[in-house]
Amino acid sequence: MPTPRSRPAAAVVLAAALAAVGLGPAATPAAAATVPVGAGSYSDTRPPGTTGPTTNTGAPVTPKVTQAAKGRPVPTNDWWSSLAFQRYGDNPYSTPMYGHPLTYQAVSGGLEVGYPTSPAVVGDGRQYEYAHKRDLTLGLSGLNSPDTKADAWSDWTVTPYWSDGTRTLRTTIGHGMPFVYAQGSGGNAQITTAATPTVFSDQGNVVGITVGGHHYALFAPTGSDWNISGTTITAGLGGKDYFSLAVLPSTDALATFRTYAFSFVTGSQVDWSTSGGTVGATYKLTTEAKEGTERGTLQALYRHQWLNTTDTLTPYTYVSPRGTMKVRESASFTTRQKAAPVLPALPRTSAVDTSRLRTYLSEVADSSDPFSGATDTYWTGKALGKLAQLVPLADQIGETAVRDKLVGLLKGRLQEWFTAGGASEFSYDRDWKTLTGYPASYGSDAELNDHHFHYGYYVYAAAIVAQYDASWAADSAWGGMVKELIRDTANPNRTDSAFPFLRGFDVYAGHSWASGHQGFAAGNNQESSSESTNLSAALVLWGSATGNTELRDLGSYLLATEGEAIAQYWFDADQQVFPGSFTHDTVGMVWGSGGAYSTWWTANPEEIHGINVLPVTAGGSPHLAGNKDAIRRNLAELERENGGPAVEWRDILWEFQSLADPAGAKAKWDAGHAGYTPEQGESKAHTYHWITTLDALGAPDPSVTGDLPTSAVFTKNGTRTYAAHNHGSTARTVTFSDGKTLTVPARSTATGTGTDTGGPDPDPDPEPPTGNTFQLRSGGALTTATGGTAGSDTIPSAEGRNHDGTPNKPLVYEVKGVNATLKAGASTTFRLPVDARTAVGLGQQARISYDLTGDGTFDRTETYRYFATDPVTGWEEYNQTRGLKAATGTLGNLSGGTVRLEVWSAIGNGSALLRTGGDTSVVVIPYD
């Protein structure tokens, strides 16, 4: 939810209208009992005069689940939460649910199913959406259920349930699932289409239809026969109780999908691990063979997943609001990502003026109200976060009195909240199995919104306290209450009967959701992705400070996963996700149906761009530096939309700029620091330290990771500085993925240029490529390996616009870690077979870029004139002889560098193909 410096009444009215907030009189609570937890406590009954979960009219609401699911913790804040949380009293079924590629909505007669493939841009161009539109409804003949309940769920699947007393229907749906699996009794299987379908295959119990331009396969038990009458398709189940349907990527995929039609998904689970600076995760479906013995299945991977897997994928793809989804023919797949850099604070450098920092620290520590009047969970959290950032800074410059004063302030306010019966406390709701802080804010009570946003600040502050006072963080002291907040927001235990597994984090979507009820036509939403990663970083720090490796590694998994999702879905880092008709470079909010250049409370561009940056911390922010081009595009758009540089949230946006351009951010600080008011979660002390330190060390370099989760690397002018914090009681040596090591004393932060061990890397990155000829591979790789299977990727249409010279939805192929010596007199060459098939007036264009040191900044870009393809099916060769259209920067030797090829449609109104594999598409770089 929003984090403005102030929230005027008009903004509250707007948010109320958007969220349909309506708080009625609070129910009279029973006599409260206090539940002790170490030195702290919470109440098991909410305070008098407050509210718990309600409908939009203010009526109390309990989970809408079947008897079989009663008492099981409901994962609110999920993509399907409206099944269980009846926010709107007149809708006992669900709002639209976005599983991707399919969309769903429960209605009285069963489950509406759609596959939106054409985006709409609405709200004066500020929002794009692939809104749910029914292609068909899956049900039983005569079904007329008074409601729909959640019957079962797993990590990313859910089973809705309908019953009208005569007929009973269960369906299993999920993220990435092209199938809907149904089990019913009391009636025939029935599919009702939104328009008269076209039948492209009729094999008795297997029928292929096209409706709304989308292809579906319907599967009834062997021996059954589908009967088609207008828009109604029925099949007797012959004494069985199962049938299924699938959306097909093409009509010729029917045979493949038929293989898995009766391998019903019964559950889903992710398992993660961290080792040597790498985060691995395996996503697995469990299945049951309703017929035959087949136990495999098909699942569609989101972009953030297929970019990070080496598992074999099929040629099948789907459209989604998150870009292209690619299909895997297996019940599981594995991803591997670099762990995100995390530190308690940026390290000390001589560039920071001690006297100046001391003055800034005193302004906060000696303030008459360091908490700025905060009383509710959110604003108290912001204040805790602000103070927590300053503790290590005071410690760095030997200001132990200021450090201890700040730690004391943190302890005092945390302990107030961690003790039941006072003006502020946490209360446990037995029906919803959630811990709500009172005074609540932004629907954290009535709608169960934003717990991860609010409580992340508390956990982060507690982690900083634990770094300096381990006894305070013991379970028998105040650490027990910290763990209760973690159980509420990010519980790793699936068998915990008191809290759901990872309440708000959607493991398959790769990010968290903010709304507790998901009661919107656009699905669920999340605005401040950075406040979500604030919780993940807090888990890394808390787990490191308290020796809890389970929570530390959970934080590493969440941070790496959501960091990739943020890059792709909020910032469109590769320019492959946002539709071409949406002209913004970032979104303030991601919805199930798409994204919006907006916030809940304002249309001010500074907040739209800044809300996914704050709070700026050394734990939760450095991962953003992995996409420096996206940061530059983001800030350039901000200034265009704002009519000039930031004014209101200038400190947040300066700090954001420093992740890609430290010198530019420092220049803005030097020019404007005297006359601004810090954002309410910020301070001049922290902003000065942040900007000055990164100007000295260089921007974070997430391409190199350490085998200690609390480590980071910074790069300036090709020189790397290694940093790590050791929470342990003995010194340790940290090994980085480039082979360098750093010795870190106990309970200290160390920095250095690293020691070359001369030995093998214990968890090496792939070997740097040798040779100067790179082959294209589907999935975005450039490789020196030969002999790859021939294939093709689709170059998206230019949609009738002129993109000559400016990449638009480009295909991106990249290789990292390249070491090579520039060859005198040589130049880049390439050979790219393209085919526009029968489309007229298309032109494909290429840009090749060189990042000489791998720091995320491209030092040389070469844009070539586009190639006008003919409207005849067959491959044509596009090569460098078309000539350069533009070039910037200069080439030099590559040292751990990156080479990137981008191919897009410069003109035209149709898509084209680019050949991959088969050693036919190559880029030759001018290097030895």
| Residue 903, C-beta contacts closer than 8 angstroms, at least 6 positions apart | 795, 810, 811, 813, 832, 844, 845, 846, 914
CA–CA separation, 214 vs 197, rounded Å?
10
Q: Enter the tokens of residue 367.
A: 């303030």
CA–CA separation, 154 vs 398, rounded Å?
50
Strand spans (E) along 290-388: 298-301, 317-318, 325-329, 332-338
CA–CA separation, 135 vs 835, rounded Å?
32
Exactly one of 78, 135, 151, 527 is catalytic; name it: 527
CA–CA separation, 81 vs 822, rounded Å?
56
Exactly one of 112, 135, 395, 450 is catalytic; name it: 450
Q: Fill in the amino acid letter for 655.
A: E
Q: Enter the tokens of residue 793.
A: 């990727």
Place of tokens 């509420």: 488
SS3 888: strand
- CA 535 vs. chain centroid, Å, equals 13
Say whether 527 is catalytic.
yes
Count, residues in the chain = 928
> Residue 339: is it exposed, middle or buried by C-beta count within 10 angstroms (0-12/13-18/19+)?
buried
Q: Enter the tokens of residue 156.
A: 């990313």
Tell me how far apart the 2 most distant CA atoms of the chain are, in Å.
85
Exactly one of 112, 135, 531, 682 is catalytic; name it: 531
Q: What angle is formed at CA 628 by the lines to CA 817 and CA 276, rounded to 5 degrees? A: 45
CA–CA separation, 814 vs 794, rounded Å?
17
Q: Can the peptide bond before residue 439 be classed as cis, meaning omega within 30 degrees of 0?
A: yes
Strands 110-114 and 136-140: antiparallel
CA–CA separation, 784 vs 927, rounded Å?
13
Q: Enter the tokens of residue 771.
A: 């040779």
The CB density around residue 257, as the number of other CB atoms within 10 Å, is 26
CA–CA separation, 191 vs 139, rounded Å?
6
DSSP 474-505: SIIIIIHHHHHHHHHHH---TT-SSS-TTSSE
| Residue 835, C-beta contacts closer than 8 angstroms, at least 6 positions apart | 792, 869, 873, 874, 875, 876, 912, 913, 915
Give the closest residue to 327 by CA, choosing from 309, 353, 354. Answer: 309
The set of catalytic residues is 450, 527, 531
